[in-house]
Structure 1
Amino acid sequence: MNSTASADTTTHISDPAQAQHRILRVLVASQILSGAGLAAGVTVGALLAQDMLGTTSLAGLPSALFTAGSALAAVTVGRISQARGRRPGLAAGYLTGALGSAGVIAAAVLDNPVLLFIALFVYGAGTATNLQARYAGADLAPPGHRARAVSTVLVATTLGGVAGPNLAAPAGTLAEHLGIPHLAGLFVISGAAYALAALVLALWLRPDPLLLARGIAQAKETDTDTNMAADTGESRGGVVLGALVMILTQLVMVAIMTMTPVHMHDHGHSTAASGLVIGIHIGAMYLPSPLTGWLVDRYGRMKIVAASGITLLAAGILAAAAPGDSVALLALALALLGLGWNFGLVSGTAIITDTVPLATRAKTQGLVDVSIAVAGATGGMASGIMVAATGYPTLALTGGVLSLALLPAVAATAYRR
């Protein structure tokens, strides 16, 4: 820890509750911006690839690439945060996402698929950082309020995440005026949003939540018990369980979400219509977070994990059964998909935060998010291949059934207790 960080921590150590309120406000502001940034890749990434390559079978590749890029970024952001604090780690991640957005725009202008794929890999840093920010909200939260702190940060993503996809049509028009292909318009917004999110964090995330939490633990000599707990088999099991919950929900969500715009496009729907459906989906991913956080803290982690599996199953069944020309039913299916993912992410994050000591918290969280990103990359890549081979309904139904694997994990945990 450098001297500036130490001084910053010491200044605020007497009133961590006040510092937590300030930190949450800054994180909320940055998440609103970053939510708009992450929406671009989800909404038009697959369509860009399909347009350049002329095939649906590789339309899942962009999602796979930016989620694979997010895996590398998760490690990097986690390590920077572990060594220097959340502020430099998160700011660097968002700035990298902005650079990736600029690369996607250049690839679209040049009609260069190789550059597109490289840029999407770099763009994935923004997605990873958006997720890593939730941990920063929980660093100073007391155990009984951690899920609610996580949810406060997540819900802030809703505004940008919902607005972003619905800017697809006007952003495309603006892009054409600038000599940029229509589909790349959202990446203009994405690059600006990520750059502004990085600026907000770099200037105002003070005190740094992770460094302050460490300082408080050292001052009160309370970190000893936490570190001892981290050595137990129960603690290690908690990390594995929390990671499993988030990995499975990410895999199912990304696979179905990635191919929905392509499925709609193939049934004659406009970019604006698919943008509306994805906007509803992203809203459902983040908007219920305050309620989810309260439910997790009130009723326990495992009950919400079970709710996640059941909700994802319902989403898969509805997406598979919905007629291709029904925007309303597809929107409802994607809303349930987002809600199931939200249940899994909030409960899984709470499990991880409960069991990882401050001394290794950011590094471990980064490694967990790598696993989540790899699961997303797998889902994104497999989704295009599966839809080309069997169709969208089979993909959706398979994802829904797969989510039921969460229920045995819940049962096994309940049995051990």
Structure 2
Amino acid sequence: MVDGALYKVINAKILRDHALVENDYVWFQNGKFVDAQTNFFKQRKEADHIIDAEGAIVAPGYLDIQINGSYGIDFADYEESVEKIKQDIDKVAKGLLQDGCKANAYSEILGAHVEGPFISHEKKGKPKKKKAGAHDDNVIRDARRGLVDFDEAYGPELKNQQKAVCILTLAPEIDGVLDCIPQLQQRGITVSLGHSAAHVKAAEAGVANGANLMTHLFNAMLPFHQRDPGMVGILGATDLPAPRHPNRHPSPSFTSPGRHLPDPRPFYGIICDGIHVHPNSVRIAYYSHPKGCILVTDALSASGLPPGRYQLGGQDIEVRHGGAYLVGTDTLAGSTVTIDQCVRNFRRFTRCSVVEALEAATLHPALALGIADRKGSLVPGADADMVFLDNDLNLKRVFVRGEEVDLVKHRK
């Protein structure tokens, strides 16, 4: 990309204003989308370069808000030097670009999604090692002293206005957590409910106090029960108070309590690999709360690796049939799905529109994080991150801040 040069994307089906728009263009300059009227009509400036999309769908770059690792690197169980961390982040970030994901474009990271230690002992996750669980029981704690406990657990980075910690997953039933949610939001942190044994009343209280996200719906929470649906029951809530930050809540849908107001129900992440969550369950969630869905991979270190056997996180792992399993067993060791596959799966599982599938991996996570002005859409001023897709939503081209990525993984 030439500095200062104006680029124009033609011959595309553009994801804009909740529709696929034809006979229009995408303009970008200096790594940002720009307004065509300002550049063409006011400045009387023609494009310096034309990019022919050849009929492809042009959508914002995908955002995956839950990644534990990839390409043999596990950030959830990490004990390396700062320099090694930087190298591994760069390796994973460049690998994720092959799936159209911009959450970690080159050196950029939008922030950490921290799960624990303010979570339920009961729903801390399955053990990954003999000596340690996915969430170590010894560090799980409550917040009886309020925000002091959070600052003690996470250190000064928690005060860094979303530059370090972007999302905190909390269990609302843990002592002291509910009262801290508004204060955490004031620091720019997205509060998500998860790894929780909360009954529906506690879950609703968490949303009422400001949580606008649920972590991997159906996983690490109480199963649905007809008399107390637990956290899953939030999907059917009709009497939640108006959201404190409506611009970070889902748009209204035909299932919303108010058809013309932001939905008070939170967004929900869902692992759309067909393994962690059955396709029928994905469909139930979608039909209950279509505008709330955020597709996540929850990928572990085996993601991005070809089929075979590996030692990852102290375990012998076999990557096969779209999952990572303990060698010699059918025990699932983690997700290996990619975000672009999640998008295709979601459309196939739910029979939703192309627009709905794409927005579940672009606009929705950007809204939940409060960054829709720079990520998740093609609006002027946003980063020029975009994917070109065929009609089956397979990746054809990827651009990061206007620079095209070499899709080695997708070469034929």
Say whether the fold is shared (TM-score over 0.5): no
Highest relative contact order (Cα 8 Å, sep 6+), 1 or 2? 1
The structure with the greater share of residues assigned to strand is: 2
TM range (shorter): under 0.3
- State TM-score, norm by structure 1: 0.25
- State TM-score, norm by structure 2: 0.25
